């Protein structure tokens, strides 16, 4: 009996420890503040993705037709403004970069971003902060580094919008203390954060397009269960009325 109690206490302790560690890690990154139910935000994020990201990255688990349906766009709008590969409306979203060219320049094909948000422990918060944390680093092959993902192998795709950031490091270490904007971009810092929030929201939607429908149907399921529970309670009272 004592052994069982000890094992149970140990399991609870480990669970609390893991939860505390996860909470501490999550507290390190500011919240993205995304909202996948904001259709305008998703549309702006899609525009950014197809203008700055699809040249290297694909969304192979998302089709243009589903994109149009969920983002409130017509087939004509999608095919004219977001399709740069000549794909059909029902095709999956692929990168504009041929695989052999990707191998030549990067050594491997840039990753597909369909599940990028879901693959990260901190989800959209990680992606949002990653997009905001590029800085110039002449020691890196591409001339860029990232405070959230050190030694990242890709340059800042949004540098024209954000501008150029430089890192202020702690004395005697390579740890980045803060980032400073050394050259402004086309957007103000607040506007750029909103742009990366929109892009993150779009990638969050792409990671699970069914989330919108799931949340919509979830409300009706809960209402059904509540009504069924009430009817079951009335039925139980009727069955047990003569017993009591």
pLDDT digits (tens, 9 = 90+) for 175-229: 888 999 999 999 999 999 999 999 999 999 999 988 776 766 677 778 888 888 8
Residue 7's pLDDT band, with cuts at 50, 70 and 90, is very low
Q: What is the mean pLDDT of the chain?
A: 84
- Residue 178's contacts (CB-CB under 8 Å, 6 or more residues apart) are 167, 168
Q: How far apart are CA 85 and CA 96, in angstroms?
A: 6
Mean pLDDT for 20-28 is 47
Q: Supply the Cα-derived Rg of the chain in whole angstroms.
A: 24
- Going by the annotation, the residues of the binding site are 53, 56-57
State whether residue 35 is helix, strand or coil.
Answer: coil
pLDDT digits (tens, 9 = 90+) for 73-89: 999 999 999 998 889 99
Query: Which token pair is 108?
Result: 């491997």
Q: Work out the angle between the directed axes of helices 39-52 and 64-71 (0-180°, nearest 10).
A: 150
Given this model, what pLDDT does residue 177 score? 87
Tell me yes or no: is domain 38-234 CATH 1.10.760.10.
yes
Among 156, 148, 63, 60, CA closest to 109: 60
State whether residue 90 is helix, strand or coil.
Answer: coil
- Going by the annotation, the residues of the binding site for heme c are 53, 56-57
Place of tokens 């480990």: 14
Q: How far apart are CA 120 and CA 146, in angstroms?
A: 16
State whether residue 31 is helix, strand or coil.
Answer: coil
* Residue 14 reports pLDDT greater than 60: no
Is residue 62 within 8 A of residue 229, CB to CB? The reply is no
More confident residue, 242 or 63: 63
């Amino acid at each position: 009996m004592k052994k069982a109690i000890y094992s149970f206490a140990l399991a609870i302790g480990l669970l609390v420890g893991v939860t505390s560690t996860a909470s501490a890690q999550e507290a390190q990154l500011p919240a993205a503040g995304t909202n996948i139910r904001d259709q305008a935000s998703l549309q702006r994020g899609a525009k950014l993705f197809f203008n700055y990201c699809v040249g290297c990255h694909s969304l192979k688990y998302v089709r243009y037709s589903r994109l149009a349906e969920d983002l409130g766009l017509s087939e004509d709008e999608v095919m004219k403004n977001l399709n740069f590969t000549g794909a059909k409306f029902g095709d999956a979203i692929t990168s504009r970069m041929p695989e052999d060219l990707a191998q030549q320049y990067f050594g491997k094909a840039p990753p597909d971003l369909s599940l990028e948000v879901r693959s990260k422990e901190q989800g959209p918060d990680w992606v949002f902060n990653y997009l905001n944390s590029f800085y110039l680093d002449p020691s890196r092959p591409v001339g860029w580094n990232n405070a959230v993902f050190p030694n990242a192998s890709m340059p800042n795709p949004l540098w024209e919008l954000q501008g150029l950031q430089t890192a202020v490091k702690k004395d005697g270490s390579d740890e980045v203390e803060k980032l400073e904007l050394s050259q402004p971009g086309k957007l103000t810092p607040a506007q750029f954060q909103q742009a990366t929030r929109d892009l993150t929201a779009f990638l969050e939607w792409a990671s699970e397009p069914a989330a919108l429908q799931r949340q919509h149907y979830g409300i009706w399921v809960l209402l059904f269960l509540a009504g069924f529970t009430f009817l079951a309670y009335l039925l139980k009272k009727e069955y047990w009325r003569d017993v009591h």
